[in-house]
Amino acid sequence: MATTPLTFPPPLPSHRPSSLRRPVLTLASERPYPSSQELLPLRKIPGNYGLPLIGPLRDRHDYFYNQGRDEYFKSRVLKHRSTVYRTNLPPGPFIAPNPRVVALLDGKSFPVLFDVTKVEKKDLFTGTFMPSTELTGGYRVLSYLDPSEPNHGKLKKLMFFHLQSRRDHVIPEFRSAYSKMFDFLEDEIVSDGKAAFCPANEQAAFNFLARSLYGVNPEELKLGLEGPKLIRKWLLFQIAPLLILGLPKPLEDLAIHTFRLPAFLIKKDYNLLYDFFYYNSGPVLDFAEQLGISREEACHNLLFATCFNSFGGMRILFPNMMKWIGRVGLVVHTCLAREIRSVVRASGGDVTLAALEQMPLMKSVVYECLRIEPPVPLQYGKAKRDLLIESHDAAFQVKEGEMLVGYQPMATKDPRIFHRAEEFVAGRFVGEEGERMLRHVLWSNGPEDKSPNFGNKQCAGKDLVMLVARLLVVELFLRYDSFDIDVGSSPRGATITLTSLKKATF
């Protein structure tokens, strides 16, 4: 396949050494997606599950403590000489009765997980175990429903209705919540020399979601500033079996990987959140009744979509974006600032949807953040029937009922699809050739060039996520020429400390 050099972004000032220019911004060529018509050899799926109980426990320790998630998957690819193999997936005993999975670890086999004619997506949003429905008002909420279940289509319709009805509030409320956050972070840097991004982001994200989607300011209501804290605790009760909290290993393994945290402990907090959503969702709840969904079931679903899907997602994605954009350095920062400011000036100083579309480097940077570190890294599906799954090198027979697990970072950093797959290349998705590669960006549980609908399991908030991620970059570079960060780690991803925010000079 022909290789096309990317011409974007515009040439940099000539005094910069050329070694600074190319690597971060451009790609000499994109790797053609292998479209072999040849019949691949049929191979038995390598790997085994070990002895009952011992195998899953040994694998759990490797996954959490001895190797870590990345190494856990990568080392077994080398061992089995295959990107498709059998393994156990944590948590295993006693939380997940069956930890046995077939892992899909390349960009060719992974997309089978999006084909709901081939895989069932019932009760496996969090993997091989499902949190108690006591944590969601006794209901199986939308994320756990397979499209074949009648409620899936109705609830997804409700989500689309809600997002659509509030769409005009997104840009102004985002700008208001996040300028307040950046004002606060600037003050922190002046007084302490540094500022923690993550807690400020969580407060801003919750305020933004409440104001844009529900039209209320939680700070003026009973909830006050408590929203993020209540949600964090509630999230912990659901996903603790998948986390490392940093407690002494035997204690942690017993307390959160072996037994569930009892749901009743969080009931009071959950009810506070529920009341907040119930009293501020009137028109959406009315629409739910028209669809034949009770107000209660609809409200538990709105709470979940806002607090787990949206807040939970922004809490991971935004720090990750600050990390990758922070690390990419001054050259890209300058190009972003120039592009964003010139487009906003040309649109009369307004940030509009149309203006965002005219910022190719900014859009590419957002896609690249989502490619290099997908915020939800694991996807699951149960084979609906006997299937043949192809990696780049072989075809594998999977039996009906087998659990498939894709580790998305290995699919979106597949070196047989992307050149310099492990590198953050700011302009990767600029231009025709770059845009063609968007079908390999998979963060939303579907290709970036496809849309969520009633019949699939692609993220209902895909457009909203893209919009807020773009708005973050725009806000950042309207206000600042550049910024510096320190990066640490936490159970839910990167922790970012800002050490400088350099105010806009042009």
Quick one: angle between helices 360-372 and 312-328, nearest 10?
110
Question: In this structure, how many other beta carbons lie within 10 angstroms of the beta carbon of residue 201?
Answer: 22
| CA triple 339-342-347, angle to 5 deg | 125
Q: β-pairing, 119-120 with 387-390?
A: unpaired
- DSSP state letter for 372: H
126 binding ligand HEM? (CB under 6 A): no
Please tell me the total number of residues recorded for the chain in this structure. 506
Q: Taking a C-beta distance cutoff of 8 angstroms, is the pair 87, 101 a contact? A: yes
Place of tokens 């090198």: 393
Q: Which is nearer to ligand HEM, 82 or 310 (CB)?
A: 310
Identify which range of 127-135, 182-190, 349-357, 442-450 contacts ligand HEM by CB under 6 A: 442-450
Q: Which of 88, 201, 379, 412 binds ligand HEM (CB under 6 A)?
A: 379
Q: Which of 158, 240, 459, 474 binds ligand HEM (CB under 6 A)?
A: 459
Positions in 155-174 near ligand HEM (CB under 6 A): 156, 159, 163
Positions in 316-335 near ligand HEM (CB under 6 A): 317
461 binding ligand HEM? (CB under 6 A): yes
Q: Which is nearer to ligand HEM, 429 or 443 (CB)?
A: 443
- Min dist CB 464 to ligand HEM, Å, is 5
- DSSP state letter for 32: P
88 binding ligand HEM? (CB under 6 A): no
Question: In this structure, how many other beta carbons lie within 10 angstroms of the beta carbon of residue 108?
Answer: 24
Query: Residue 68 phi/psi, 5° resolution?
Result: 90, 160
431 binding ligand HEM? (CB under 6 A): no
The Cα 226–Cα 272 span in angstroms is 10
60 binding ligand HEM? (CB under 6 A): no
Q: Taking a C-beta distance cutoff of 8 angstroms, is the pair 418, 31 a contact? A: yes
Continuous segment of H or E residues that includes residue 489 = strand 480-490
142 binding ligand HEM? (CB under 6 A): yes
Amino acid making up residue 178: Y
Q: Which is nearer to ligand HEM, 31 or 382 (CB)?
A: 382
Q: Taking a C-beta distance cutoff of 8 angstroms, is the pair 6, 27 a contact? A: yes
Q: Which is nearer to ligand HEM, 242 or 337 (CB)?
A: 242
Q: Which is nearer to ligand HEM, 142 or 171 (CB)?
A: 142
| CA triple 104-106-107, angle to 5 deg | 115
- One character per residue 170-209, x = contact with ligand HEM (rule: CB under 6 A): ----------------------------------------
Identify which range of 93-101, 218-226, 332-340, 455-463 contacts ligand HEM by CB under 6 A: 455-463
Q: Which is nearer to ligand HEM, 398 or 441 (CB)?
A: 441
The Cα 115–Cα 107 span in angstroms is 14
482 binding ligand HEM? (CB under 6 A): no
445 binding ligand HEM? (CB under 6 A): yes
125 binding ligand HEM? (CB under 6 A): yes
Amino acid making up residue 117: T
How big is the site for ligand HEM, counted in residues (CB under 6 A)?
26
Instruction: Report the Cα–Cα distance between both ends of the chain, in Å, rounded.
Output: 41
- Min dist CB 390 to ligand HEM, Å, is 21
Q: Taking a C-beta distance cutoff of 8 angstroms, is the pair 429, 437 a contact? A: yes
- Across 323-421, where does the E strand assignment appear? 378-383, 387-390, 395-398, 403-407
- Min dist CB 211 to ligand HEM, Å, is 14
Q: Which of 266, 460, 474, 498 binds ligand HEM (CB under 6 A)?
A: 460
Distances (CA, A) of 12 to 334, 337, 389, 459, 474: 9, 13, 46, 38, 20
- Min dist CB 27 to ligand HEM, Å, is 25
Q: Which is nearer to ligand HEM, 343 or 459 (CB)?
A: 459
- One character per residue 339-378, x = contact with ligand HEM (rule: CB under 6 A): ------------------------------------xx--
- Which residues sit at the interface with ligand HEM, rule CB under 6 A? 121, 125, 142-143, 145, 156, 159, 163, 305, 309-310, 313-314, 317, 375-376, 379, 443-445, 457, 459-461, 464-465
